Amino acid sequence: MRATVIHAPYDIRVEEVPDPIIRQPTDVLVRVLRSCICGSDLWPYRGEVARKPEPGARIGHEFLGVVTDAGSEVTGFAAGDLVVAPFLWSDGVCDFCQEGLQTSCVRGGGWGSPEVDGGQGEAVRVPFADGTLVKLPAEAASDDRLLTALLSLSDVMGTGHHAAVGAGVRPGSTVAVVGDGAVGLCGVLAARRLGAERIIMLGRHRARTDIATSFGATDIVAERGDAAVAAVRELTGGQGAHAVIEAVGTEQSMTTALGIARAGGAIGYVGAPHGSGDGVNLRTMFDANIALRGGVAPVRAYIPELLPDVLDGTIDPSPVFDLTVGLDEVPGGYKAMNDRAALKVLIKP
């Protein structure tokens, strides 16, 4: 089969690799119908990760598709089932999985590891299928827009929701979102779904802020740094936002998040830290009773909750995918996202 592999920074290729096979009785094989490129995929692409992938390593962690084969101990899935995979696989039975924190599963792991396929290919072997996959309605396979919206449940929609939950978004609250990438935009959707009355989006890219507005943002702040803090404070009568979604992970973004949080409020952070720890001023948090919650989103726990709303159109995250490529065009998709010519690239193998 063909799959996306990374050989070195800025060297993404689509190559022939061995077809996946059932290795454990808890495995299934999935033929990929939709995949995508994540903002976090750009870190190894740019060589910005401490642990460099081996040359020829698979890449990609968001996909949905059709089961083609199942191991003898799989009980929840059979050939022909349409399924979506969270961005980490998990056994579904350990203490952490039972507590809804599948990202800390003692036997779990990530797509593209040495023994597991990446999501940006024609097929994937899924370990612990019963604990990992979620079944989708078969009829969704014939609805292109719905299929694309459902793909967001593998990562960005669940991650945006995790940030909103961590920030304590509640009906009638004022929410500020730091980061106009796909996760931040899905954070807007999540905040609206949870009943936020006012949603302030911090972003300066018109195409992205237009999506934010369509998702429910009531205000757009284009400034950055101290100017952004001042603008949000002015919009909120000097008090700041009850809930702040931080979806970037840098020192500047965390400093901004702290600066715009209301006393007694909370920050939900899902931007993977790239120096953001330097922006955590514990004295500011202490004096203003600001809570900080977040981390790697356990999207497997959130898919059952979010799925009905995607299916009935209550939320539609599909607009975050603004460029579609075939598998052979994936290297160009990486370049487009790296150049900020695309927000999030959809792959149709």
- Tell me, what's the pLDDT at 101? 97
Give the CATH number for residue 274: 3.40.50.720
Same domain, 6 and 125: yes
- Tell me, what's the pLDDT at 134? 98
Same domain, 91 and 127: yes
Average pLDDT over residues 199-219: 97
Same domain, 217 and 77: no
Same domain, 303 and 183: no
Same domain, 190 and 277: yes
Q: Which amino acid is at 214?
A: S
Write down how long the chain is.
349
From 254, 278, 294, give the residue that closes a domain: 294
Cβ neighbours of residue 167 closer than 8 Å, sequence gap 6 or more: 175, 243, 244, 245, 265, 266, 267, 268, 293
Give the CATH number for residue 119: 3.90.180.10
The tally of domains found in the chain comes to: 2
- What pLDDT band is residue 179 in, cutting at 50, 70 and 90? very high
Residue 168 has pLDDT above 70, yes or no: yes
Same domain, 142 and 13: yes
Task: Please give the structure tokens belonging to residue 11.
Answer: 């060297």
The DSSP call for residue 16 is: E
* pLDDT: which is higher, 203 or 276: 203
From 294, 309, 336, give the residue that closes a domain: 294
Domain span including residue 311 = 2-155+298-348
pTM of the predicted structure, to 2 decimals: 0.95
Residue 50 has pLDDT above 70, yes or no: no
The DSSP call for residue 250 is: B
Same domain, 48 and 110: yes
Dist. CA 144–CA 159, nearest whole Å: 23
Residue pLDDT, tens place only, 83-104: 999 999 999 999 999 999 999 9
